[in-house]
Chains A and B, each alone.
Chain A
Amino acid sequence: MALLMGLVLAVFVVGLSLIIRVYVVVKAGSKCRPGTEGSVAVLAVAGSGGHTTEILRLMECLSAAYTPRHYVLADTDKMSEDKIHNFEGSKQHSDSQFIIHRIPRSREVQQSWSSSVISTLKALWYSVPLVFRLRPDVVLCNGPGTCVPLCAAGLLLGILGMKKVLIVYVESICRVHNLSMTGKILYTISDYFFVQWSSLKDKYPKSIFLGRIV
């Protein structure tokens, strides 16, 4: 009995301290200013089709200080790689570096919930070593399912005290009244969460609304 009580207590303490730790890491976001120490390494998550177009529109406006730029694609995505090569090739400051990485897709459109969980775990298996190796200052994403394991890996770096990775999320312009599934998951752990319609800003007070940005 005492053993059981001890076990329950231990689980409770570990769970509680983990929650506190996550809270502290997420709270530290506003004080984290990697730009003051030189260039900012960005990991941009490219999804499929429209998501990639939107993320490249955002990347286009970031200055040369944001380097190197790592793009992560789902391995079933063939079109995004061409789009990224075209985009980076057309940049003026072509001396700056960009690298493309691939991980398994965590969720296909209309995939069922239960199989999504398994494929997300598989994507996490690949995301953690990738993010731990790259140690980006910022993870920038806008909604494809692949965002979740990559942001989780970024958060883990912070939890372990190895590096604070800023999670910047931009909800797709398609979302007017309701967040996407990815948006709902990442709302709590992101450091800067952008929405593009004022109705979402009203519903999600932590979000940032600058009008349409893509």
Chain B
Amino acid sequence: MGTVFVTVGSTSFDDLIESVTSVESVQTLKACGYERLVLQVGRGSLLPSADICPHISLEAFRFKNSIAEDIKRADLVISHAGAGSCLEALGAGKPLLVVVNDKLMDNHQLELARQLNMDSHLLYCTCRTLTETLRTMDLSVLQPFLPGQPKLFANFLDKALGV
């Protein structure tokens, strides 16, 4: 059973929750083979109940200590542009669709999401284009995101400091 995990991080992003639970989005997700939708809605004013989408199994919660388990169980992660959420999903090796909140202008967090999109590590859209993106997206173009190498840092420092 294909699972989609949606996360908005520590903030709120009602537009995303609204878009992803819209009739068109849910139908598109179903058509793509996803049957379960898990929403982490943060401080948002929307906390959808399980019965608002009759065609898909839906769960929603505000916060958890760790969303690692939800990411692990997901086949697709839809996330806000926050660096923490993006890196966590990519680090777990999950296909990631980042939805940009165009109401937040000049948000420095966008810088990372944009770059990772240019490097083909994630897909990128806005709430308005979400359904269209879900319909046309090709997850096979995504490149794996290799973990950073702190060992290189340690080696450099050892040499510089004479350790």
A interface list, Cβ under 8 A from B: 30, 32-36, 40, 49-50, 57-58, 60-63, 65-66, 137-138, 166, 168, 170, 172-178, 180, 192, 194, 196-197, 208, 210-214
**Are B156 and A210 closer than 8 Å at their CB atoms?**
yes
**Are B162 and A213 closer than 8 Å at their CB atoms?**
no
Partner of A173, one of B148, B160, B162, B163: B148
**Are A40 and B87 closer than 8 Å at their CB atoms?**
no
What is the chain A residue whose CB lies nearest that of B112? Answer: A174
B interface list, Cβ under 8 A from A: 83-84, 87, 108-109, 111-112, 114-115, 146-154, 156-158, 160-163
Residues of chain B within 8 A (CB-CB) of A58 are: 150, 153-154
**Are A57 and B148 closer than 8 Å at their CB atoms?**
yes
In the assembled complex, the CB of B26 is this many whole angstroms from the nearest CB of chain A, namely 32
**Are A63 and B158 closer than 8 Å at their CB atoms?**
yes
- In the bound assembly, the distance between CA atoms of A36 and B161 in angstroms comes to 7
What is the chain A residue whose CB lies nearest that of B146? Answer: A212
**Are B154 and A57 closer than 8 Å at their CB atoms?**
no
- In the bound assembly, the distance between CA atoms of A175 and B115 in angstroms comes to 10
A32-B161, A197-B115 known, 16 other contacts, Cβ within 8 Å: A30-B160, A50-B83, A61-B154, A65-B158, A65-B163, A66-B163, A172-B83, A173-B148, A175-B111, A176-B115, A178-B108, A192-B156, A194-B153, A211-B148, A213-B148, A213-B149
**Are B162 and A61 closer than 8 Å at their CB atoms?**
no
Residues of chain A within 8 A (CB-CB) of B108 are: 174-175, 178, 180
**Are B162 and A35 closer than 8 Å at their CB atoms?**
yes
In the assembled complex, the CB of B80 is this many whole angstroms from the nearest CB of chain A, namely 14
**Are A40 and B161 closer than 8 Å at their CB atoms?**
yes
Residues of chain B within 8 A (CB-CB) of A174 are: 83, 108-109, 111-112
In the complex, which of the residues A57, A63, A174, A180 has the most CB atoms of chain B within 10 Å of its own CB atom? A174
Residues of chain A within 8 A (CB-CB) of B152 are: 210-211, 213
**Are A35 and B158 closer than 8 Å at their CB atoms?**
yes
Partner of A213, one of B111, B112, B115, B153: B153
In the assembled complex, the CB of A177 is this many whole angstroms from the nearest CB of chain B, namely 6
Residues of chain A within 8 A (CB-CB) of B150 are: 57-58, 60-61, 213-214
In the assembled complex, the CB of A141 is this many whole angstroms from the nearest CB of chain B, namely 13
Q: Which 8 pairs across A and B sit closest by C-beta, in order of nearness?
A: A35-B163, A33-B162, A212-B148, A36-B162, A61-B154, A35-B161, A35-B162, A61-B150
In the assembled complex, the CB of A45 is this many whole angstroms from the nearest CB of chain B, namely 16
Residues of chain A within 8 A (CB-CB) of B84 are: 49-50
**Are A177 and B111 closer than 8 Å at their CB atoms?**
yes
**Are B149 and A192 closer than 8 Å at their CB atoms?**
no
In the assembled complex, the CB of B131 is this many whole angstroms from the nearest CB of chain A, namely 29
In the assembled complex, the CB of B104 is this many whole angstroms from the nearest CB of chain A, namely 12
Residues of chain B within 8 A (CB-CB) of A177 are: 111
A-B contact pairs, 10 of them (CB 8 A): A34-B161, A40-B163, A50-B84, A57-B148, A60-B150, A137-B161, A168-B157, A175-B112, A210-B152, A213-B150
- In the bound assembly, the distance between CA atoms of A32 and B149 in angstroms comes to 25
What is the chain A residue whose CB lies nearest that of B147? Answer: A212
What is the chain A residue whose CB lies nearest that of B156? Answer: A210
Given A176-B115, A214-B150, A208 and B156 contact (CB-CB distance below 8 Å): yes
What is the chain B residue whose CB lies nearest that of A50? Answer: B84
In the assembled complex, the CB of B150 is this many whole angstroms from the nearest CB of chain A, namely 4
What is the chain B residue whose CB lies nearest that of A177? Answer: B111
- In the bound assembly, the distance between CA atoms of A82 and B91 in angstroms comes to 22
